[in-house]
Structure 1
Amino acid sequence: MTSVLSLKDATLALDSNAGRIEILHGISLDVHKGETLALVGPSGSGKSSLLMLMGGLERATSGTITALDQNLSQMSEDALAKFRREHMGIVFQNFHLIPTMTALENVATPLELAGRKDAMECARAELDAVGLSHRADHYPSQMSGGEQQRVALARACAPSPQILLADEPTGNLDQTTGETIMDLLFDLHAKRGTTLVLVTHSGELASRCNRTVRLRDGLIAPQAEAAQ
């Protein structure tokens, strides 16, 4: 199988007022093209930090992280931002929409940054794909949490990324709304062949993935990579 993400002995340590905190310890993991992978484990186990390393949003203290044959550890911040814009979509638990922009403008922003002349047209199509074409001119404050997450998902998918990273995408939503977001995530994955890696506390969401990796105390737990 072709690996689109590969971590070799990756560690993450951060300095704090209380001293140096070791978060991840020698993580080695390959994520294959087109698969769906769930990162699970108790709070504080390091799963969100691992996702941030995969997306180049945190730099590994040691070890290497490769995405689409590019060594993220050696890239400058500008190069990382460009790489993410062209190849990755990221969905956060807290949506991270720009409050002064409409849904359409939020989705169009990464396309405009990439120089796409059809940014608005493409953004409208992405909003339609998540069932929100009627909300195109609404601001985040005028939308429900589920609607905001759908906008965030449309924004992440608009550049047609090869890798989609999702950090607790249903964490702030009620069960029914969360199930809608889950269905959208897997529908978009199936239609576009995107590699999907998600952090979740939901056993139901994890069970829908091809594979589950369980973290505990910054390490991959035994039997973590058994197929679900």
Structure 2
Amino acid sequence: MIELLPKAATPSRPPIISLRDLRLSISAAAGTVNILRGIDLDIETGETIGILGPSGSGKTSLLMLVAGLERATGGAITVAGTDLARLDEDARARFRLAQMGIVFQSFHLIPTMTAVENVAVPLELAGRPDATAVAAEALRRVGLGHRLSHRPAQLSGGEQQRVALARAFAPGPRLLLADEPTGNLDSETGKLVMDLLFDLCGQAGATLLLITHDPVLAARCGRTVTIKNGLLA
């Protein structure tokens, strides 16, 4: 008689983002302002998650903390297995460059640089000798292969945001952070940009953290959470 052994349990991967009692306060003339008042949230690798909330609810502050662009005043934040509180400003910048792509509502392109030069910036900072070639290919993937030498002022708003998407995805990030990426675009252009963003995330297997006030846009994500008054509602 053959004895069947139980199957070994498949080890679960830790979440790519883990927030525990995350807090952010700032000092103002009228006293302390509590922006985030204790956020607990896990985001799994490859997940797409929409963060909803009204203006001033703390959702953009949450993204800034995850990106390491701001320091939490309380709680713990771990991204890709790294405790961000242990990193100084330079180390957070290097970590961001290696792990993340970020797309903001404002395109944040360098006006004196061409599209391909803008996309090549993070690749050059990472020491990639093929930065220009990779940047050009990234622009072709977003439909801008014919705009490589154009500067931001020569591009439409939708084209500028596609340059920003190419710049975010060119280094191959594990995590894509998007803060109201269609906020400066008309509805038709915004839909095209979001279709592209989701396609690129799917192709790259990247985790998406999307900040938005639009429930229809958030519903395209696999999960949505809402922040109100600095807390998960």
| Normalised-by-shorter TM-score class | over 0.9
Structure 1 unaligned spans of 5+: 222-228
Structure 2 unaligned spans of 5+: 1-11
Q: In the alignment, residue 121 of structure 1 is paired with which amino acid? A: A
Q: Shift of residue 73 of structure 1?
A: 1.1
- In the other structure, the counterpart of 2:75 is 63
Q: In the alignment, residue 103 of structure 2 is paired with which amino acid? A: V
RMSD between superposed Cα atoms in Å: 0.8
Structure 1 runs (4+) deviating above 3 angstroms are none
**What percent identity do the matched residue pairs reach?**
60
Q: How far apart in 2 are the matches of 1:203 and 1:218?
A: 18
Whether 1:52 aligns to 2:52 is no
- SS in structure 1 at match of 2:50: strand
Q: Number of matched residues?
A: 221
One of 117, 122, 126 as aligned partner of 2:138: 126
The structure with more radius of gyration? 2
- In the other structure, the counterpart of 1:97 is 109
Q: In the alignment, residue 177 of structure 2 is paired with which amino acid? A: L
- In the other structure, the counterpart of 1:149 is 161
Q: In the alignment, residue 82 of structure 2 is paired with which amino acid? A: Q
**Correspondence list, 1:78-89, <5 A:** 78-89=90-101
- SS in structure 1 at match of 2:16: strand
Q: TM-score if structure 1 supplies the norm length?
A: 0.95
**Correspondence list, 1:210-225, <5 A:** 210-221=222-233
- In the other structure, the counterpart of 1:27 is 39
Moved more, 71-80 or 201-210: 201-210
Query: For 1:153-177, what per-residue CA distance to the aligned partner results, in whole angstroms no more than 9, with x for missing partners?
Result: 1001111000000000011100000
Whether 1:179 aligns to 2:191 is yes
Q: Shift of residue 53 of structure 1?
A: 0.8
Query: For 1:33-80, what per-residue CA distance to the aligned partner results, in whole angstroms no more than 9, with x for missing partners?
Result: 001000001111111111111111111001111011100111010000
